[in-house]
Amino acid sequence: MEQKLIEQLNEWHEVDEHQQIVDSILAIPSEERDYETISMLARAYNNLGLYEVALNQFAHIAEAGKQDPLWHYRVGFALYHLQRYEEAAQAFSKSEQLEPGENTAYFLRESTRKANKQQKEELRLAKKKDSIARGDFAVQKIPFSDMSLLDFWEDSEYARTSYQCEPPTDELIDSIEKELGYKLPASYIYLMKQQNGGVPRNTCFPTEEPTSWAEDHIAITGIMGIGREKSYALCGDLGSPFMIEEWGYPDIGVVICDCPSAGHDVVMLDYRACGRDGEPEVIHVDQEDDYEITFLADNFEAFIRGLVNEENYDTSEQDKEDALAKVAHAKFSPLLEELCSHVTEVEQVEQKIRNICTAIVEEKGHFSFHADELSYLMYDVQFWLYIKSYPDTSHDQYISVYQNIIAFGGEFGQGGYAPGFITDWLKQRMKEGHIVQNDGMIQFTDSYKVAVINMLKQA
């Protein structure tokens, strides 16, 4: 492959123009593609999330890649995201043997951990199915017969507005079950007849394994009611079908609880072992970690009984200290470092960014951007920095690259973000006339660019 083309492909890779790489390489006749070309094509497919297609390309150069640590690493990366963790661990192990590296060691550890967890989960499900097949059912009893539900729910305007539905009728329950395709547990229906959805006083559930939320527990925001009219009802506009169809959660049951991560993890009823009409287990599903499943409880009633108060896990003071240390000292992502290096309009721009982020942590207690004033300022700053360096950027291209600036920016990162916040910010700035579009490319108006620079100088 010509050196000029290699340089162009690498430039596209740095700015996440992976489809450009694919289109360019596919334009080369297949018989003219060498090892490096195919390797770069497969890498681009990996970065587009087309992992099966990537593996197919890697297979074409498997013999030549036997002693190439990068070939094994990239194969492992594809297998990892396909949740074929045992095979991924083998690939990362070979890559680590050929050329040890920090990223390889991390993925090797994670693949091994996930493979063990996956095997444990498969064994647990098999045992549960065998138990059901033998007819080993628990004696039916009135749900929550020895548990008081009088103080179970928290009374708040938010809960009433977003979760709490009218008491469910038998006709509504039947309608919702048909729409979902699953029979709801008797204990869930019983609880919803006491109050149809809301925010419980106890919002944490202990776990034996770490999740993206914490080392020893998960947290929920609310429990979805039986209905359609509220956003966080089972079939509301942010209910179970939405989370499965739009967010990609596994179609193995019903989403019943949202979590504080704004969509990045949920609690579900899991019908894999019992079938659509059986008694489902309760699981936690972590979208941030390739939809990793963590078992919580044998049934819904056991889940409700196991909820504990967040005060049991209150680490807010330490979390705030850690977040302040991060925004003060953590290394910027390679992209953010590059963007800052091009700035001449603002002295010590890196420190100005840290100052704004410190104010955000002081206000919230954690490092995250939402829809508040300071978050919008950071959206503005990131946009100005990126468009200054890459002026020929479309709306979709910016949405795609945004996460690489800070959200998933390594040490100085947030570990995730809700895409809706950044798209809402873009819509708002375009509605206000601060961001304009010319020939498909987006940019600040000159006057708003000056305003953002001045706000950054004052930070």
Query: What contacts 30, CB < 8 A, 6 or more positions away?
Result: none
Domain membership of residue 132 (yes or no) is no
Domain membership of residue 138 (yes or no) is no
Q: Give the chain's domain count.
A: 3
Spatial CA neighbour of 76 closest among 41, 117, 112, 35 = 112
* DSSP bridge pairs for 324: none
pLDDT band, residue 119 (cuts 50/70/90): very high
Give the separation between CA 182 and CA 239, rounded to whole angstroms. 14
Question: Does the CA dihedral 41-83-218-229 come out positive or negative?
Answer: positive
| Residue 156 φ then ψ, to 5° | -150, 155
Spatial CA neighbour of 395 closest among 427, 428, 370 = 427
DSSP-derived letter for residue 412 is G
CA dihedral defined by 417, 423, 424, 427, rounded to 10 degrees? 160
Spatial CA neighbour of 53 closest among 35, 33, 78, 71 = 78
User: Are residues 179 and 33 part of one domain?
Assistant: no
Domain endpoint, select from 117, 132, 157: 117
The pLDDT value recorded for residue 138 is: 61
The pLDDT value recorded for residue 169 is: 97
Domain membership of residue 229 (yes or no) is yes
385 or 128, greater pLDDT = 385
CB 60 within 8 A of CB 30: no
Point out the least confidently predicted range of 174-188, 193-207, 309-323.
309-323
Spatial CA neighbour of 238 closest among 218, 224, 251 = 224
pLDDT band, residue 2 (cuts 50/70/90): confident
Q: Which domain holds residue 79?
A: 3-117
Q: Look at residue 160 and give its three-state secondary structure.
A: helix
Domain membership of residue 136 (yes or no) is no
Amino acid at 454: N
Give the separation between CA 421 and CA 401, rounded to whole angstroms. 15
User: Are residues 329 and 308 part of one domain?
Assistant: no
User: Are residues 290 and 159 part of one domain?
Assistant: yes
**DSSP codes joined into one string, 346-396:** STTHHHHHHHHHHHHHHHHSS----SSHHHHHHHHHHHHHHHHH--S-BHH
CB 143 within 8 A of CB 187: yes
Domain membership of residue 134 (yes or no) is no
40 pLDDT above the threshold of 80 = yes
Q: If you average pLDDT over every residue of the chain, what do you get?
A: 94
User: Are residues 323 and 308 part of one domain?
Assistant: no
Task: Return the number of other C-beta atoms located less than 10 Å from residue 370's C-beta.
Answer: 14
In tens, the pLDDT along 208-258 reads 988 989 889 999 999 999 999 999 999 999 999 999 999 999 999 999 999
User: Are residues 226 and 371 part of one domain?
Assistant: no
Domain membership of residue 126 (yes or no) is no
User: Are residues 374 and 241 part of one domain?
Assistant: no
The pLDDT value recorded for residue 455 is: 97
Q: Look at residue 290 and give its three-state secondary structure.
A: coil
Tokens read off for 459: 């930070």
Q: Which residue has the tokens 């942010």?
A: 238
pLDDT band, residue 290 (cuts 50/70/90): confident
CATH number of the domain that residue 212 is part of? 3.40.1580.10
The pLDDT value recorded for residue 17 is: 92
Work out the burial of residue 137: count CB atoms within 10 Å of its CB; fewer than 13 is exposed, 13-18 middle, 19 or more buried: exposed
Q: Give the pTM.
A: 0.64
User: Are residues 303 and 342 part of one domain?
Assistant: no
Domain membership of residue 130 (yes or no) is no
CB 263 within 8 A of CB 239: no
The H-assigned helical ranges of 142-236 are 157-162, 170-180, 186-194
In tens, the pLDDT along 50-97 reads 999 999 999 999 999 999 999 999 999 999 999 999 999 999 999 999
Q: Look at residue 301 and give its three-state secondary structure.
A: helix
User: Are residues 297 and 350 part of one domain?
Assistant: no
Domain endpoint, select from 312, 331, 346: 312
* DSSP bridge pairs for 219: 204
**DSSP codes joined into one string, 118-140:** HHHHHHHHHHHHHHHHHT-PPPP
User: Are residues 156 and 33 part of one domain?
Assistant: no
Spatial CA neighbour of 239 closest among 212, 269, 219 = 269
pLDDT band, residue 141 (cuts 50/70/90): confident
Please, what's the b/e burial string for 392-417 (b: 16 or more CB within 10 A of its CB; e: otherwise)?
Answer: ebeeebbebbbbbbbbebeebbbebb
Domain membership of residue 124 (yes or no) is no
CA dihedral defined by 247, 248, 254, 257, rounded to 10 degrees? -40
User: Are residues 436 and 361 part of one domain?
Assistant: yes
pLDDT band, residue 135 (cuts 50/70/90): confident
Domain endpoint, select from 277, 312, 347: 312
User: Are residues 289 and 330 part of one domain?
Assistant: no
Mean pLDDT value across residues 180-193: 97
Share of the chain above pLDDT 70, in %: 99
Tokens read off for 217: 């527990």
CATH number of the domain that residue 93 is part of? 1.25.40.10
User: Are residues 367 and 304 part of one domain?
Assistant: no
In tens, the pLDDT along 312-363 reads 987 788 889 999 999 999 999 999 999 999 999 999 999 999 999 999 999 9
Amino acid at 180: L
18 pLDDT above the threshold of 70 = yes
